[in-house]
Structure 1
Amino acid sequence: MIIQEINIRKMKMKMKHPFTTSFGTFHEKKFLLLEAKDELGNSGWGESVAFDSPWYNEETLETNLHIIRDFLIPIIVGKKIGHPDEVSERFSAIRKNNMAKSTVEGAIWDLYAKRNKMTLAQALGGELDKIEVGISIGIHEKVEDLVETVRRFVEEGYKRIKVKIKPGYDVEVIRELRKQFPDVPLMADANSAYTLDDVELLKQLDAFNLTMIEQPLASDDIIDHATLQKQLKTPICLDESIHSLEDTRKAVELGSTKIINIKIGRVGGLTEAKRIHDYCMEQGIPVWCGGMLESGIGRAHNVALTTLPNFILPGDTAGSSRYWEEDVISPEVIVEDGYITVPTAYGIGYEPNYNAMDKFTVEQYQFKA
């Protein structure tokens, strides 16, 4: 296929409810949608998951736009691409900027699947026709409000509950949740809020039979996590520390992690995500798909990836209605009794809702061969 045209939309969508983590509160999500068109008029869609400030990592919406426009698009527009795996190879001369790379690569994966009359899940080698879904819940001012939020999602059938923690909002919060929900699969996400000075505090979490504690230490650390894991019974899951297959290999060999969170944007695209999945499967390390408050486009990519066989833990890909009054795809992503049915239409399986896209579009850019 030949990439004849790239269209970018800068989007702004108000969140249905504020979402609070250890590094900030989100009331709206600004992001990029990218459409790639081939010589036959087919189009594929990708989404940048970078935030508008560098809270999660060093990338932002504006740096993604710069890298995509000035460096990545010239590499692929007007060029012939045989398979999406070639995209990451062509982008390899550009250091890091994984979320920018993933935005473009995701659109080309969608386009490739459509051209070959496959679902994106099939193109990736997925095996499942429905996926288990967990939910990620932000920090609440009152623990009793958090308990009621968790209760609502448990009653809706979500298969795993993840709650954000931070210093001063951790052990007692988890204690109360475990008291109220003794049998619910529960995990804590620290978003790098702790250090090795907090070992004794973190060891207290071992009492609550958590599925995992996610990224307790620094976002660029692998070594200290190995030290911490030796002192914890609870499995450590790495998120922000894992940007590539090489990071994964080193973390596993050092004993820094027992579970890997795969986020497509963080690792640079579906090709690298699949490589990490395959390696972890060989090593007996379970993986799950993390979320970045995506719109329906990014959410659809997560659904497709999660159909691979080593995604044995429920991910963060909740339904559209969890975050948005109106999503940018049709139909929207729907969760029923804790499962999402994998769509059977070609590509990502959802159609762009152009009326909604136009409503939330702030700026547009077009690039042609």
Structure 2
Amino acid sequence: MAVIAGIEFHKVKQPLNQPFITVLQKVQEREVTIVIVRDAEGREGYGECVAFDTPWYTEETVTGSRFVMEQVLAPLLLGGQMEHPAETACLFSTVKGNHMAKAAVEMAVWDLFAKRQGLPLYEFIGGVYAPIPAGVVVAGEMEDLSQNIKMAIDSGYRRIKLKISPDTDVALLKSLVAANPEISFYADANGSFSGRALEELLAFDQAGFVLIEQPYGEHEWEAHRIARSKMTTPICLDESIHSLEDVKRMAEQQAGDVIVLKMGRLGGWAETLKVVEFCRNEQIGMWVGGMIEFGVSKAHNLALASLPEVKLTGDFSDSGHFWQTDIVSPEIYVEHGKIKLSESPGIGYRLNI
């Protein structure tokens, strides 16, 4: 039985090493809120809220989520007793929406419970110890694409995700993919084909991508269903997936083949593990997506990727990809295209803020 005796919230703000450019936004600086929960014995668990400073990705923002965590969620949690961290989701069920705020606090509680049992978080959730394949997102101007891909390959990455839109030079992408047959290339459209003719998306079908992520808007289920029925490249849904119910809808409507797991969007560990179980039973592909996050969130994501059902390579770059200095130690490194799981209790990293 654990008693949550204290909660702290800390702002972290750093510039990116280089701008992260998509059709939705250009991110040059990242601010997050780090959550620290403590039990009565002084142990600490860490979480990270991955909301952005403006509502370009979801309706949540750094400022709004901070208010919800401090003024709404913390009072529900403080002083309470619980047998298992999944009870956190039950406590928060009376609060509508605010998945990123909920996820950050819940992540900290799961980390704390793993530490209380002296287990690495990956083992606590039923994961398997094995190096996690690293995958990087190459997002920048088209004229820099070839050089950025080369840099990623030279750094050891064997899965590279490219941002696409109707304005992307398909022939260039096809030539880059063909020139690097040892690399798994994903494509991410961030909904940019919404309102465009299907033929514009079909032009990417023979480019050699392992999958195409979120070609249409998050609520455009029928458009995704039609695209899936016409294309040989698997369709992956990201922004459309906010809950287990969304995954069930995708399966029922045959609107996709693969989903991206993002705990911040799903609301935390409890809902994410339900989604993993459903996808395993329905044989839906899964991989863990990134949110331009710091090491705390990435450590949780590495534990999630350790589950045997999560077979596709996720967004796992090393600490130096985005940041001059990460907020965890030791920093997260890619070695020979993979990241080793920490065998220390909890997320396995110390917090430096």
Same fold (TM over 0.5): yes
Q: Where does residue 165 of structure 1 map in the other structure? A: 164
Instruction: Give the counterpart letter for 1:246 in structure 2.
Output: E
Q: Distance in 1 between matches of 2:178 and 2:124?
A: 44
Instruction: Give the counterpart letter for 2:146 in structure 1.
Output: V
Residues 139, 163 of structure 1: 8 Å contact kept = no
Cα distance, 1:184 vs. partner?
2.1
Q: Distance in 1 between matches of 2:63 and 2:182?
A: 43
Residues 19, 140 of structure 2: 8 Å contact kept = no
Cα distance, 1:159 vs. partner?
2.3
Q: Distance in 2 between matches of 1:176 and 1:196?
A: 27
Q: Does the residue aligned with 1:206 lie in a helix, a strand or coil?
A: coil
Cα distance, 1:69 vs. partner?
1.4
Residues 170, 207 of structure 2: 8 Å contact kept = no
Q: Where does residue 52 of structure 2 map in the other structure? A: 51
Cα distance, 1:155 vs. partner?
2.7
Q: Distance in 1 between matches of 2:176 and 2:150?
A: 10
User: CA 1:156 to 1:245, structure 2 compared with 1: closer, same or farther past 3 Å?
Assistant: same
User: CA 1:231 to 1:196, structure 2 compared with 1: closer, same or farther past 3 Å?
Assistant: farther
Spell out, residue by residue over 1:258-315, the C-alpha distance to the aligned partner (whole angstroms, 9 max, x if none): 0110011010011111111111111111100000011111111111110001111110
Q: Distance in 2 between matches of 1:170 and 1:242?
A: 28
1:286 aligns with 2:289: no
Q: Distance in 2 between matches of 1:323 and 1:198?
A: 35
1:192 aligns with 2:187: no
Q: Where does residue 180 of structure 2 map in the other structure? A: 181
Cα distance, 1:329 vs. partner?
0.6
Q: Where does residue 335 of structure 1 map in the other structure? A: 334
Q: Distance in 2 between matches of 1:5 and 1:125?
A: 27
Q: Structure 2 matches for 1:17-36, cutoff 5 A? A: 17-36=18-37
Instruction: Give the counterpart letter for 1:125 in structure 2.
Output: G
Q: Distance in 2 between matches of 1:122 and 1:173?
A: 43
Q: Distance in 1 between matches of 2:344 and 2:151?
A: 31
Stretch of structure 1 that moved more, 169-178 or 344-353:
169-178
Q: Does the residue aligned with 1:30 lie in a helix, a strand or coil?
A: strand
Q: Does the residue aligned with 2:333 lie in a helix, a strand or coil?
A: coil
Q: Structure 2 matches for 1:132-143, cutoff 5 A? A: 132-142=133-143
Residues 166, 200 of structure 2: 8 Å contact kept = no
Q: Distance in 2 between matches of 1:141 and 1:284?
A: 35
1:243 aligns with 2:239: no
Stretch of structure 1 that moved more, 219-228 or 182-191:
219-228
The number of aligned residues is 352
Q: Where does residue 349 of structure 1 map in the other structure? A: 348
Residues 128, 308 of structure 1: 8 Å contact kept = no
User: Runs of 5+ in structure 2 lacking a partner?
Assistant: none
Instruction: Give the counterpart letter for 1:308 in structure 2.
Output: L
Q: Where does residue 40 of structure 1 map in the other structure? A: 41
- Give the TM-score taking structure 1 as reference length: 0.93
Q: Structure 2 matches for 1:162-311, cutoff 5 A? A: 162-195=161-194, 197-311=196-310
Residues 51, 60 of structure 2: 8 Å contact kept = yes
Q: Does the residue aligned with 2:197 lie in a helix, a strand or coil?
A: helix
Q: Where does residue 88 of structure 2 map in the other structure? A: 87
- Give the TM-score taking structure 2 as reference length: 0.97
Cα distance, 1:170 vs. partner?
4.7
Cα distance, 1:196 vs. partner?
5.1
Q: Where does residue 320 of structure 2 map in the other structure? A: 321
| Alpha-carbon RMSD | 1.2
Instruction: Give the counterpart letter for 2:233 in structure 1.
Output: T
Q: Does the residue aligned with 2:9 lie in a helix, a strand or coil?
A: strand
Q: Distance in 1 between matches of 2:32 and 2:172?
A: 32
Q: Where does residue 105 of structure 2 map in the other structure? A: 104
Cα distance, 1:141 vs. partner?
4.4
Residues 178, 208 of structure 2: 8 Å contact kept = no
Q: Distance in 1 between matches of 2:184 and 2:318?
A: 19
Instruction: Give the counterpart letter for 2:300 in structure 1.
Output: H
Q: Where does residue 360 of structure 1 map in the other structure? A: none
Q: Does the residue aligned with 1:208 lie in a helix, a strand or coil?
A: coil
Cα distance, 1:181 vs. partner?
2.1
Q: Does the residue aligned with 2:205 lie in a helix, a strand or coil?
A: helix
Residues 47, 108 of structure 2: 8 Å contact kept = yes
Q: Distance in 2 between matches of 1:327 and 1:30?
A: 13
Q: Distance in 2 between matches of 1:221 and 1:9?
A: 37
Spell out, residue by residue over 1:334-361, the C-alpha distance to the aligned partner (whole angstroms, 9 max, x if none): 11111000000000001112xxx1xxxx
User: Runs of 5+ in structure 1 lacking a partner?
Assistant: 358-369
Q: Distance in 2 between matches of 1:329 and 1:178?
A: 34
Overall identity of the aligned pairs, in %: 37
Stretch of structure 1 that moved more, 174-183 or 44-53:
174-183
Greater relative contact order structure (CA < 8 Å, 6+ sep)? 1
Instruction: Give the counterpart letter for 2:37 in structure 1.
Output: A
